[in-house]
Amino acid sequence: MTNKAYKFRLYPTQEQAQLLAKTFGCVRFVYNKILEERIQIYEKFKDDKEALKQHKFPTPAKYKRDFPWLKEVDSLALANAQLNLQKAFTNFFSGRAGFPKFKSRKAKQSYTTNVVNGNIKLADGYIQLPKLKWVKLKQHRQIPVHHIIKACTITKTKTGKYFISILTEYEHQQVPKEIENVVGLDFSMNTLYVDSEGKRANYPRFYRQALEKLARAQRVLSRRRKGSNRWHKQRLKVAKLHEKIANQRQDFLHKASRQLANRYDAVVIEDLNMKGMSQALHFGQSVHDNGWGLFTTFLQYKLAEQGKKLIKIDKWFPSSKMCSCCGRVKASLSLTERQFRCECGFVADRDINAAINIKKEGLKKLGTA
Ligand SMILES: [Zn+2]
């Protein structure tokens, strides 16, 4: 079984929006209540792990007696709050995460509900959800009929928009595609990548303009008095721009990865450690903005869907310093040298030379070179 999630914009009525706000609040309330109890139990038994494990998590039903208004919202959303906290504790005990924290009002507004006895259905631009009945949504793509809906997560953004992420499950047996067309990509700070055929994936102009606009808006915000009306207004403006930019970036990354996945049978990339790289090069923000990580994630599943391959080669492979024509490796190559010139007479754009080397190394790994 394979999972795939579909995200759509939701348009609740005013009444539904009120119930959603109530549900977000109840989920947070139940989460914090259970956490409160668990902290007491933890304090009491922290030296006795077995005793700690035997103490079962309280269920939301327990609170419904004292707080009857909890019955007004989707009970599966509350059950998931408990499961999430349980998971947070499991992660804490295994050392993967810190001690669970209380959820504040400022935390992300969202909840997850599950499909039980066909309680969630999609039809004609609407989705049926527990307690909410039919909520309007903009379904810009179809969910294939063989996909079974398992769960839905409803989120409200800081700018007041609603989204639903529909998690589906389906039977999937992918036959590996015979590899004929291969391309190498060299990561590029400015354009995302340069490929072994010399093409650059350029971020669209409107995206760059939006980034400049955001920088200006942030400067204005920093000058306003924190907490003032004008500050709140500007903060919303910044949040809206952030949202717009994140969407534009995601759109671009989806399109770029879709084109590659459709055109090639295998794509070769360097296995870059972005975190280490941004620290080492002090590029911090721009590496992060570049969305390379997101891009490779999209590329990976878009290729896999078609039985194609994403090949990662060692990040220590000297892709930039090697001549893609004769194989000589230069002792040094400064970042300012945009042209690669080799003793053998080969001259090429530095990034294209690197992309060709990456492709060749990938072919070696595939055993088809
Ligand atoms: Zn050479």
> Could you report the per-residue pLDDT of 252-305, keeping only the tens digit for each?
999 999 999 999 999 999 987 655 555 445 444 454 465 888 899 899 989 988
Which residue in 74, 195, 265, 270 is the catalytic one?
270
Residue 186 appears among annotated catalytic residues: yes
Per annotation, catalytic residue among 74, 195, 265, 351: 351
Q: What is the pLDDT of residue 283?
A: 46
pLDDT at 58: 85
Q: Report whether 148 contacts 118 (CB < 8 A).
A: no
Tell me how many degrees the CA angle 146-151-154 measures, rounded to the nearest 5.
Answer: 125
What's the pLDDT tens digit per position in 91-122?
A: 888 888 889 999 998 878 999 999 988 889 99
User: For the chain, how far is it from start to end, CA to CA, in angstroms?
Assistant: 34
In sequence order, what are the residues at sequence separation of 6 or more whose Cβ sits closer than 8 angstroms to the Cβ of residue 20? 12, 132, 154, 156, 162
Q: What pLDDT was estimated at residue 368? A: 62
> How many A from CA of 347 to the centre of ligand 1?
8
Both structure tokens of 270: 């360097």
Q: What is the CA(361)–ligand 1 centre distance, in A? A: 16
Residue type, 28: R
Edge-first strand order for the sheet with 182-188 is: 192-195, 182-188, 266-270, 309-313
Q: Find the 325 Cα to ligand 1 centroid distance in Å.
A: 5
CA of 63 to the centre of ligand 1 (A): 73
333: CA distance to ligand 1 center in Å? Answer: 14
Q: Is 270 assigned a catalytic role?
A: yes
pLDDT < 70: residue spans in the chain: 273-290, 368-369
Report how far ligand 1's centroid is from the alpha carbon of 353 (Å): 10
Of the candidates 106, 105, 126, 133, the one whose C-alpha atom is nearest the C-alpha of residue 9 is: 126
Q: How far apart are CA 23 and CA 149, in angstroms?
A: 21
* C-alpha 136 – ligand 1 centre gap (Å): 61
The reported pLDDT for the residue numbered 272 is: 77
Catalytic residue (one of 186, 195, 265, 361): 186
354 CA distance to ligand 1 centroid (A)? 13
Q: How far is the CA of 322 from the centre of ligand 1 (A)?
A: 8
Q: How far is the CA of 329 from the centre of ligand 1 (A)?
A: 8
